[in-house]
Amino acid sequence: MTKLKYTLKAAVAALPMTAVLAAPAAAEKWDMPVAYSASNFHTVTATEFAKCVKTGTGGDIDIVVHPSGSLFPGAQIKRAIQTGQVPIGERLLSGHENENALFGVDSIPFLATSFDDAAKLWDAAKQPMTDLLASQDLTLLYSVPWPPQGLYFKNEVNSVEDMKGVKFRSYSNATSRIAELTGMLPVTIEAAEISQAFATGVADSMISSGATGYDRKVWESLNYFYEVDAWLPRNYIMVNSGVWDGVSEESKNVIKGCAELAEYAGTWRAKEYTQFTLQGLRDGGMTVAPASEKMKGELQEIGETMTNEWLENAGDEGKAIVDQFKKSTSN
């Protein structure tokens, strides 16, 4: 961690030398809504990105990060950027899979279940995703994965049969479909509302990373985390394309450089955070363990069903991404 921080600080320290060249005509404040708490590693990365941009442009572009859905709830952030209510923001795009199946490419169950495979899937999907966002007046700056997704429950679960009737936090098409196929009851809950939802019994389970559970102290309400490594979803930092077009080339270069650093740093944090947060769940009193062989087999079958459904919805473009990904993993 020390080495990485030094690298980031050194890179940021070098940016003021180009600040005069990078300065736009007038100072601009960019409000940046994010859905996660200030302590979440995605938000920490976004905050460092904002500092990098401010330094690199000599203070002429000042990005102000608003955590925990305080400016806009997570589900509204993408639309807020598109319509110019804010110039920039961060969003889990799989929450918008109902708009276009491609947004759910990172949440296909059991397709890419490790950081290495998630990186290869992103390599295959990055250009199509960039083009799709551009068609919606959004310019992609960078993307960072979450740690592998596991299943949280209040009570012990050893099979899909044990899940029936359990109230399950849903935040995307994929999570709603998992609830349907397992017999659980989906309840739409944004990240900022997780702690309250579990404490009040609105939900008793979810599929998410150890990072989310750790940040929200879910051990106060839940007792079990099963490591199933279902997928590694991604957060995306986007800017309104009209705003982006108005930025000078010099400032664009600074922002792009800061975005590359942020993607690297955020991915590194995701990897480092994985075991740290799982230990944090244990320290909080939760049982953290692999799923039973029976449950793994049943979830794999559900994953195959959902993969086929996604491929049907995503059409030729989706098939091309998956084919390219599978080719890269077979080499």
Indicate whether 14 pLDDT > 60: no
Mean pLDDT for all residues in the chain:
92
21-30, 183-192, 220-229, 278-287: lowest mean pLDDT where? Answer: 21-30
Q: Note the pLDDT of residue 11.
A: 53
Sheet of 287-290: strands edge to edge?
185-188, 167-170, 205-208, 150-153, 224-227, 287-290
Q: Note the pLDDT of residue 26.
A: 64
Q: How confident is the model at residue 27 (pLDDT cuts 50, 70, 90)?
A: confident
User: Taking residues 139-149, what's their average pLDDT?
Assistant: 97
Indicate whether 15 pLDDT > 80: no
Q: How confident is the model at residue 8 (pLDDT cuts 50, 70, 90)?
A: low
Q: Note the pLDDT of residue 191.
A: 87
Q: Are strands 28-33 and 88-92 parallel, antiparallel or unpaired?
A: unpaired
Give all domains of the chain, ordered by start, each with its CATH number: 2-146+233-276 (3.40.190.170), 150-230+283-316 (3.40.190.170)
Contact 132, 236 (CB under 8 A): no
pLDDT tens string 199-251: 999 999 999 999 999 999 999 999 999 999 999 999 999 999 999 999 999 99
Q: Note the pLDDT of residue 331.
A: 73
Indicate whether 19 pLDDT > 60: no
User: Taking residues 176-200, what's their average pLDDT?
Assistant: 95
User: Taking residues 281-299, what's their average pLDDT?
Assistant: 96
User: Taking residues 187-191, what's their average pLDDT?
Assistant: 92
Q: Note the pLDDT of residue 140.
A: 98
pLDDT tens string 90-99: 999 999 999 9
pTM for this structure? 0.87
Indicate whether 13 pLDDT > 80: no
User: Taking residues 25-47, what's their average pLDDT?
Assistant: 92
Percent residues over pLDDT 90 in the chain: 90
Indicate whether 196 pLDDT > 70: yes
pLDDT tens string 312-324: 999 999 999 999 9
| Tokens, residue 241 | 């394309």
Q: How confident is the model at residue 28 (pLDDT cuts 50, 70, 90)?
A: very high
